[in-house]
């Protein structure tokens, strides 16, 4: 097919690469299409905090020249990608959503995932919004304001990678880099009808080390599983700056898996034994679990057998937040997001013994899940117990907790255990808002999670459900 410049913004990375190979589209045309889409949609959604058209088009022209010479740098050469504004990017400020960071820099270093993409010739579109220091599960803050959901601009896209998810869902770049310390790629993927995977900790090198410690992962955010596989392959490359990085996988994630799931042992837990779930979400996720059974998996109802670890997670997370801001002057602290300032004060009061007790609970969760995955290959849950709520607030109306951790019970446990966990769209609420299915695997079973998601996506294609390129304008 021949695509127009406007159509190109709606193509997946896989489709763009096919067009490049056929000579029916150039990286420059693709880059201009997403820049045009950003110009149209970003004022409404606030997904990008930095757009540098000159740099983007320069990278695209270089990619087009390499293709003309048959000298591409890698599988993603010429593909547009956005970068969450917590990941260092050479030549661009990384302000982490905060007024307390000096935009002057210097900005002379790439984070590992950014470096791998630059080496492959990907085209950098800009930096996406995040709450201040990526501290919460929605995306708003003192520096960049409120980011909104493409499906309904009155709603939040989630967070903290909310800008990345909104950009992908609205066709402002087919690929995005996000980070996840307690659900920060999976929450917005569920709320915006996009795909993501939080890989096993260490699968994607991370530098500088997160102040939230080994809770924080880097992950791809895309519209399709195939695109996420391409991006994950690109960013898994080793980097000596991360002492905890894993070796590259033996087999590329982009290789197609089986069409069915015959023989796979799958546990379905609708509530992990402790979460309250909206009935519409519960019904959609139960139907998704039935699809796994139809694909040949042996699906059983089973809970992992742990209680809500929210108190221990908050000790780890709030202490990390306190570490983030420990160097700030009183004047700078006064400019912080009020909620962030509150958890930093709480985190600074924890003792070493309280931190070690939370770490011990984390290790116990890891033991429980390790044994659980001796019985089951995968665990299915809702990604979120609710659909997207009002933008600009930390919690939905009626929340029993004032903190974002009160409405994200399915995500943070698997940061504590460092397991791979994906979110893929599986339906809609009666209001037309996306619902996400979470697919969790044992540590290091990233390929199995991706393969299962491939099979589900083929059986339940998102375009047939009303996603991918038909986001309503509200």
Residue 5 among the catalytic residues: no
Catalytic residue among 82, 84, 136, 451: 84
The two tokens of residue 340 are 């962030």
Q: Three-class SS of residue 400?
A: coil
CB atoms under 10 Å from CB of 30, counted, come to 29
Q: How far apart are CA 67 and CA 78, in angstroms?
A: 9
Task: Residues 9-465: name the CATH superfamily.
Answer: Amidase signature (AS) domain (3.90.1300.10)
Report how far Cα 114 is from the mean position of its chain's Cα atoms: 15
Contact predicate 156/387, CB 8 Å: no
- Dihedral of the alpha carbons of 284, 286, 291, 296, in degrees to the nearest 10: 170
Sheet holding 123-128, edge to edge: 48-51, 123-128, 80-84, 175-180, 217-222, 195-198, 421-428, 434-441, 378-382, 265-268, 298-301
Residue 84 among the catalytic residues: yes
Annotated domain spans of the chain:
9-465
Could you list the pLDDT tens digit for every one of the 474 residues in the chain?
Answer: 456 655 899 999 999 999 999 999 999 999 999 999 999 999 999 999 999 999 999 999 999 999 999 999 999 999 999 999 999 999 999 999 999 999 999 999 999 999 999 999 999 999 999 999 999 999 999 999 999 999 999 999 999 999 999 999 999 999 999 999 999 999 999 999 999 999 999 999 999 999 899 999 999 999 999 999 999 999 998 899 999 999 999 899 987 778 899 999 999 999 999 999 999 999 999 999 999 999 999 999 999 999 999 999 999 999 999 999 999 999 999 999 999 999 999 999 999 999 999 999 999 999 999 999 999 999 999 999 999 999 999 999 999 999 999 999 999 999 999 999 999 999 999 999 999 999 999 999 999 999 999 999 999 998 755 665 544 443
Catalytic residue among 160, 210, 269, 423: 160
Peptide bond into 208 cis (omega under 30): yes
Q: How far apart are CA 24 and CA 16, in angstroms?
A: 10
Contact predicate 104/151, CB 8 Å: no
Catalytic residue among 98, 184, 210, 423: 184
Q: How far apart are CA 288 and CA 283, in angstroms?
A: 9
């Amino acid at each position: 097919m021949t695509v127009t410049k406007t159509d190109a913004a709606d193509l997946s990375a896989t489709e763009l690469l096919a067009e490049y190979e056929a000579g029916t589209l150039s990286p420059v045309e693709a880059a201009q299409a997403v820049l045009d889409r950003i110009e149209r949609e970003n004022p409404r959604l606030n997904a990008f905090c930095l757009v540098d058209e000159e740099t983007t088009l320069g990278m695209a022209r270089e990619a087009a020249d390499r293709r003309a010479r048959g000298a591409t740098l890698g599988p993603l050469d010429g593909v547009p990608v956005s970068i969450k504004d917590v990941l260092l990017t050479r030549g661009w400020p990384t302000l982490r959503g905060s007024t307390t960071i000096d935009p002057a820099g210097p900005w002379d270093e790439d984070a590992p995932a950014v470096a791998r993409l630059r080496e492959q010739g990907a085209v950098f579109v800009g930096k996406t919004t995040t709450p201040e220091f990526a501290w919460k599960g929605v995306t708003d803050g003192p520096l960049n304001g409120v980011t909104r959901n493409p499906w309904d601009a009155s709603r939040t896209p989630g967070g903290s990678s909310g800008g990345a998810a909104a950009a992908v869902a609205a066709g402002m770049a087919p690929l995005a880099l996000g980070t996840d310390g307690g659900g920060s790629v999976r929450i917005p993927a569920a709320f915006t009808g996009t795909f993501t995977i939080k890989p096993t900790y260490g699968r994607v090198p991370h530098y500088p080390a997160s102040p939230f410690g080994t809770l924080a992962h880097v992950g791809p955010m895309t519209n399709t599983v195939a695109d996420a596989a391409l991006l994950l392959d690109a960013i898994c490359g080793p980097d000596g700056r991360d002492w905890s990085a894993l070796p590259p996988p033996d087999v590329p994630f982009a290789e197609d898996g089986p069409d069915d799931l015959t023989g796979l042992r799958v546990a379905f837990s609708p509530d992990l034994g402790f979460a309250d779930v909206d009935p519409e979400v519960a019904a959609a996720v139960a139907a998704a679990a039935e699809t796994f059974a139809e694909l040949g998996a042996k699906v059983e109802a089973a809970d992992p057998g742990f209680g809500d670890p929210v108190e221990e997670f908050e000790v780890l997370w709030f202490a990390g937040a306190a570490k983030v801001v420990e160097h700030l002057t009183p004047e700078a602290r006064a400019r912080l997001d009020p909620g962030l300032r509150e958890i930093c004060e709480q985190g600074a009061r924890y003792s070493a013994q309280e931190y070690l007790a939370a770490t011990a609970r984390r290790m116990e969760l890891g033991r429980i899940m390790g044994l659980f995955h001796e019985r089951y290959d995968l665990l299915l849950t809702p990604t979120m117990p609710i659909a997207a709520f009002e933008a600009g607030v930390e919690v939905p109306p009626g929340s029993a907790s004032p903190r974002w951790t009160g409405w994200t019970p399915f995500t943070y446990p698997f940061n504590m255990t460092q397991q791979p966990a994906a979110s893929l769209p599986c339906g809609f609420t009666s209001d037309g808002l996306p619902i996400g299915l979470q697919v969790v695997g044992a540590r290091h079973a990233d390929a199995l999670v991706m393969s299962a998601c491939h099979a589900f996506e083929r059986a339940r294609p998102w375009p047939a459900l009303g996603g991918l390129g038909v986001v309503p304008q509200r």
